[in-house]
Amino acid sequence: MEFGTYYIILAIAFGFFMAWGIGANDVANAMGTSVGSGALTIKQAVIIAAIFEFAGAFLAGGEVTQTIRKGIIDADLLAATPELLVYGMLASLLAAGIWLLVATYFGWPVSTTHSIVGAIVGFAAVGIGMEAVHWDKVGTIAMSWVVSPLLAGSIAYGLFMSVQKLIMNTDNPFNSAKRYVPIYIFLTGFTITLVTVFKGLKHVGLELSTLGCYILALAVGLLMAAISHVYIGRIKIDPSADQDFHFTSVEKIFSVLMMVTACAMAFAHGSNDVANAVGPIAAVVSIVENDGAITQKSMLPIWILILGGVGIIIGLITYGHKVIATIGTRITELTPSRGFAATLAAATTVVVASGTGLPVSTTHTLVGAVLGVGLARGMAALNMRVIRTIFMSWVITLPAGALLSIIFFYILKGLFFG
C-alpha cells in the first residue's frame, strides 16, 4: 500500500495523543472523588491510577479488537477505497484528541467514547455517505446521556442515604462504621469485579459463563470484606480530631473504602477506555499490513496496547489535575463517605449497562453519581453554574468531534491524494 509507513507513523502519533487525552480527562474522573474527598492526595492518586490503569489497559484492553469501533459505520462500503478508511481513522484520532485537550484545559469532564464516536460519525457521513452510518447506534448513544447520569445519581442518592441512616445518624457512628463498612466493601468488590469481567477480561480470552462471573465476583467481594474487617479493626477513635468535625474518625474508615474503589475503578476504566485510542490505530495498522484489505477483526499487537497504556499515564500526570478538581471539589463538597457512594454508584451503573448493552460513559455516570450525593444534602450543596457548564460540554462533544474530524479528513485526503 502506497504511503503505508506514513500512515502507521501518523496512527502512532495521533493515537498516542488521543491516549494522552484519555489520561488527562477521563482518568481524572476515576480519581476525582478520591482526591476531592481527601482520601488520597494527588500524588497517591496518580501512582494508583498509573499502576491500575496500565494493568487494565494491558491485561484486559483487548487481544482482538473490532476494527470498526462499536459497529458505527459500514466498512463494506470502503472495500474498493481502503485509504479513505485510513484517512478517516487518522482524522478521528486527531479530532478526538484535540477536543479532549480543549475540554481538559477548561476542566470539563467529557466522554472520550463520545468524542471518538462523534469523530467517526463525522468523517463517515461526509467522506463515505450518510448511509454508511448506523444511525440507530448513534441514537442509542445519545439516549445514554440521559439514562446513565440519572441511574448513577439515583443509586448514589440511595447509597448515601443508607450511610446516613446506618452509620452517621446512630448513637455511636464509629462502631456502626466498623460494623457496616466491610459490607459496603463487599458490595464494592463484587460490583467492580463484575465491571472488570464484563467489560475487560473477555478480551484476554477468559470466557467465563455468566454464573462463573458472579461466583468470581462473590469470592473477590468476600475476600476484600474479610481483609478490610481486619484492617478496620485496628483503626482507633481519635477524640482530638473529632472536635472540629464530629465524623473525622468515621471518615478515616471510609478512606480505606475509597482506596479500594479508586484502584478498582482505575483498572475497569483502563480495560474499557483504552480501546478508544488503540481501536483506530489497530484499524490503520491492519489495513496497511493486509495491503488494503479491510478485515472486521484484527489481532491487536501488544505494542499498541503498551502505547495506549503509556499515553494514558502521561496524560494523567501532566494535565489530569484540571478535571480532578472539577469532579472532586467544584460540583459539591465531598468527604470519603460521599465519595464512596458516588464511585460505587458509577461502577454499578457500568455493570447494569454492560449487561443490557447500553453504551455508557464513565464520565457521565460519575458526574451523575456526584450530583446524586450532592442532592441528598439538598440543592444548596450543588454548584449549579459548574453543572450547567458540564452538561453543555457533553452536548457539544459529538458535533465538535464530528466537525474537527471532517476538516482533518479533507486535509489528509488532500495531502496524500492530491
DSSP string, 123-184: HHHHHT-GGGB-HHHHHHHHHHHHHHHHHHHHHHHHHHHHHIIIIITSS-HHHHHHHHHHHH
In angstroms, rounded to a whole number, what is the distance separating the alpha carbons of residues 249 and 241?
A: 7
Q: How confident is the model at residue 407 (pLDDT cuts 50, 70, 90)?
A: very high
The angle formed by the CA atoms of residues 108, 114 and 119, to the nearest 5 degrees, is: 110
- CB-CB contact of 327 with 368 (8 Å): no
- Grid coordinates of 31: 480519581
| Residues near 263 by beta carbon (within 8 Å), at least 6 away in sequence | 48, 52
Lowest mean per-residue pLDDT among 150-159, 300-309, 355-364, 386-395: 355-364
In angstroms, rounded to a whole number, what is the distance separating the alpha carbons of residues 377 and 382?
A: 9
User: pLDDT tens digits, residue range 295-319?
Assistant: 666 567 788 888 988 998 899 889 8
Please give the model's pTM, rounded to 2 decimal places.
0.84
Q: Helix, strand, or coil here: 289?
A: helix
- Per the prediction, the chain carries an average pLDDT of 84
Q: Helix, strand, or coil here: 83?
A: helix
Q: How confident is the model at residue 81 (pLDDT cuts 50, 70, 90)?
A: confident
Angle, in degrees to the nearest 10, between helices 82-105 and 275-289: 160
DSSP string, 346-415: HHHHHHHHHHHT----HHHHHHHHHHHHHHTT-GGGS-HHHHHHHHHHHHHHHHHHHHHHHHHHHHHHHH
Question: Looking at residue 289, what is its pLDDT?
Answer: 86
Question: Looking at residue 68, what is its pLDDT?
Answer: 44
